[in-house]
Amino acid sequence: MIWITWTILVGNNLKRPPAVLFDWDDTLIDNWESIHSALNKTLTAMGHETWPIERTRKQVRQSMRNSFPQLFGDKWETAADIFYDHIKADHLQTLKRLPHAREILVTLNDFGLPVGIVSNKTGYLLRAEVAYLGWDNFFTAIVGAGDAAQDKPEPDPIYLCLNGSGIDSNESGWPHVWFVGDAPSDLECANKAGVTSVLLCKKPYPVEEFGDLEPKIHVENLKSLESLFMNLKQTLLN
């Protein structure tokens, strides 16, 4: 299912975006097994109670440099070292592609669109996962936490991803770029950067979680997103 609350139109048709950016975790891949395990080992080592997976999924949305100081205070860098030691041990082995992830990337590449990643996963871990899946060639830019001056929900990672892309930053360029994500931080980042926000969510807009961050486009899953692009491609060919 596709919900379109706002679109850039050419006549009665969607306009081709100059680029498409994706979040990573819970958008293209699932790696909660490794994240949850490493976090609980870190919590235990730091004298905290462990979390159930539901809490991890709900609260692990910000980058480490934004979230760990809140959890561990002035000992957050020690906690970060523990977390990295554990997650580096198995994050590639537990990595799972989400349904239709590779297919949408192939479609966008065949469509001739630049594709990038903007994630709150630490940059070197993110790039290792992309390489492990053999997806390097799908992306023109890969930006993770720590790569830009600030992480999501600030707009800096999108700016870094688009700088050097050749896409004009004026009203005819960047505002037409799509940023696809599943979390409030993704929509907030898109809004602050002035690009088109695309929410990936199975249910109608969850106002209790996202508040007034209503996306411009809302798709149920990656297959729906691919269908939207295939329809757009067919429209442009006619």
Amino acid at 37: S
**Block residue for tokens 């486009």:** 217
**Block residue for tokens 């892309």:** 165
Give the pLDDT of residue 11.
Answer: 39
127: pLDDT confidence band, cut at 50, 70 and 90? very high
| Same-domain pairing of 21 and 38 | no
Half-sphere exposure of 214 (CA within 13 A, CB side): 8
| Same-domain pairing of 26 and 36 | no
| Same-domain pairing of 19 and 37 | no
| Same-domain pairing of 124 and 8 | yes
| Same-domain pairing of 218 and 135 | yes
Give the pLDDT of residue 14.
Answer: 63
- Residue 216 domain boundaries: 2-30+97-237
Distance CA 130, CA 29 (A): 10
| Same-domain pairing of 108 and 160 | yes
Task: Report, as an integer, the average pLDDT of 208-214.
Answer: 77
172: pLDDT confidence band, cut at 50, 70 and 90? low
Q: Say which residues have a Cβ less than 8 Å from residue 131's Cβ, sequence separation at least 6.
A: none
Give the pLDDT of residue 205.
Answer: 66
Where does a domain end: 75, 90, 105? 90
Give the pLDDT of residue 232.
Answer: 75
For residue 63, what is the domain's CATH number?
1.10.150
Tokens for 1, please give them.
């299912």
Contact 205, 223 (CB under 8 A): no
Q: Say which residues have a Cβ less than 8 Å from residue 154's Cβ, sequence separation at least 6.
A: 148, 189, 192
Task: Report, as an integer, the average pLDDT of 7-12.
Answer: 41
Where does a domain end: 45, 75, 90? 90
Helix (H, G, I), strand (E, B) or coil at 141: strand
User: β-pairing, 29-30 with 96-97?
Assistant: antiparallel
User: β-pairing, 141-145 with 115-122?
Assistant: parallel
Q: What is the mean pLDDT of the chain?
A: 88
Statement: residue 45 has pLDDT above 70: yes
For residue 134, what is the domain's CATH number?
3.40.50.1000
2: pLDDT confidence band, cut at 50, 70 and 90? low
Where does a domain end: 67, 90, 113? 90
How many domains does one find in the chain? 2
| Same-domain pairing of 17 and 36 | no
Distance CA 205, CA 198 (A): 11
Range of weakest confidence among 8-17, 48-57, 149-158: 8-17
| Same-domain pairing of 57 and 110 | no
| Same-domain pairing of 21 and 47 | no
**H or E stretch covering 64:** helix 64-72
Task: Report, as an integer, the average pLDDT of 66-80.
Answer: 95
Statement: residue 19 has pLDDT above 90: yes
45 or 230, greater pLDDT: 45
Give the pLDDT of residue 156.
Answer: 97
**H or E stretch covering 42:** helix 32-45
Statement: residue 32 has pLDDT above 50: yes
| Same-domain pairing of 24 and 69 | no
192: pLDDT confidence band, cut at 50, 70 and 90? very high
| Same-domain pairing of 6 and 37 | no
Statement: residue 106 has pLDDT above 90: yes
116 or 168, greater pLDDT: 116
| Same-domain pairing of 6 and 112 | yes
